[in-house]
Amino acid sequence: MLKVFFLRHRRMISISMATLFSLFLIAVFNRKVNGVDMVPISPRITQLFEKTKTICVGRFLIDIPQGAEVVYGPTSLPWPITAYPGKGDSIDAVIAERLGELEAEKAWASGPLIESDSSVGKMINGGMPNQKIVFGVSKGSSRIYRIDSYIKVNGDLFIQQADPISSEKDLAVKELNAIAASLRSRGELEIPRQPGVCIEAGFVSDPNISDYEALNIGIRLVAYPDVHLSLSVTKKDILVESDALEPRLKQAEEIASHSGNTAWYSHIKTLRRGRRQIGKWYGFEMLARKPAQAEEGESHEFVFVSQGEPKNSLLPVLEIEFHTGVKENRIGGTKPSVSDDEAVAIWDKLTASIRVRPTDGQ
């Protein structure tokens, strides 16, 4: 798994404070912005995008170079669900391993989880064939369930994990069963026509059971292996002001005020900064090249954030990050393989292709 893409909490997708700190100082020390929307595309980048493939993530599409590698990050609908492509036949062994952990968890349980009607330690049939549900105890609290739903779909295995309080156990099981009933296998390049959500190796036809959806993918350009892009879409039921990039940059001001590295930050080069529209998303982007420092080489760091619209599956919070100079999941681990203009051109090509997946009747 590419850690650079997915160092995020299950229910809170956020840009790292280090990134925000850098971007704030970029804004402070570099106020001149390239006013050109699209930079000239070099022959290398033209060749990179001669052949592309379309990837479905959530309810959206993105066009990427044919040879690019896609890495799937955390997915929640509304509970986290993980795909294990080709591992469907291992479902019994995986469940047996989980059952072997339950005795220790029983000793950890407390409160409502040790009462006579507790389900801890039990396994039941799910709402679908080839689905089993196992009840354990959350590692986060001895009073909260950990409920695992194991689903075999064709040759693939999917595991969805809920951690409800005791009074919401039955609701969680209902949600897990609803996802299992809506889930089918999907090839990487299959673009479904019906409403629903694309996940790794699968497709969930619209369950309409939650106001929360979160999906993440990372894209690595095999032709330029130090170039990585990550994309996150998060449907929420309320507008969260702190999702916006600009307030987070202001938050980083407190850190910047205590910094003694103003000389280094003054050499950060802003390539573009300001408001931007991607599809129907209105947001803010910051594109910069950071110079080398003691423990990190130079690199490009681009970010776009749009708050989207609450309760709108087709206009969720959108966060995109782009880095060059990545080696072994470490930013600045190698020299960027692309120039400033090439980095911006790649960013523009990828981000401009993000769009809602068309469905029948749309």
pLDDT tens digits, one per residue of 242-273: 677 776 666 655 665 566 556 556 677 889 98
Model confidence pLDDT, tens digit, residues 92-134? 999 999 999 999 999 999 999 999 999 999 999 999 999 999 9
CA–CA gap between residue 303 and residue 305 (Å, rounded): 7
Quickly list DSSP for 68-102: -EEEEEEEESSSBEEEETT-GGGHHHHHHHHHTTH
* pLDDT of 352 above 60: yes
* Cα dihedral sign, 110-114-119-120: positive
Look at 237 and 98; give whichever has higher pLDDT.
Answer: 98
Helix (H, G, I), strand (E, B) or coil at 126: coil
* pLDDT of 36 above 50: no
Residue 166: pLDDT band (50, 70, 90) is: very high
Residue 206: pLDDT band (50, 70, 90) is: confident
Position 238 scores a pLDDT of 84
Residue 209: pLDDT band (50, 70, 90) is: low
Residue 237: pLDDT band (50, 70, 90) is: confident
46-55: average pLDDT: 96
75-82: average pLDDT: 96
- Size of the chain, expressed as the number of residues it contains: 362
The tokens 């850190």 sit on which residue?
255
Model confidence pLDDT, tens digit, residues 266-296? 677 889 989 999 999 999 999 999 888 878 8
| Domains with residue ranges and CATH for the chain | 1-78+210-362 (3.40.1000.10), 81-182 (no CATH)
User: What would the two tokens of residue 31 be?
Assistant: 């106020």
Look at 207 and 345; give whichever has higher pLDDT.
Answer: 345
The mean pLDDT of the chain is 86
Lowest-pLDDT range of 64-78, 225-239, 281-295, 335-349:
281-295
User: Taking Cα atoms as reference points, which of 224, 215, 223, 217 lies closest to residue 300?
Assistant: 224
Residue 70: pLDDT band (50, 70, 90) is: very high
* pLDDT of 3 above 60: no
Q: Helix-strand-coil percent breakdown of the chain, rounded to 5?
A: 25, 35, 40
22-42: average pLDDT: 49
* pLDDT of 11 above 70: no
Position 296 scores a pLDDT of 83
Look at 251 and 342; give whichever has higher pLDDT.
Answer: 342
Position 245 scores a pLDDT of 75
Distance set, CA 169 to CA 106, 133, 235 (Å): 17, 12, 23
Position 293 scores a pLDDT of 81
Report pTM: 0.85
* pLDDT of 25 above 60: no
Look at 17 and 293; give whichever has higher pLDDT.
Answer: 293
Residue 67 contacts residue 224 (beta carbons within 8 Å): no
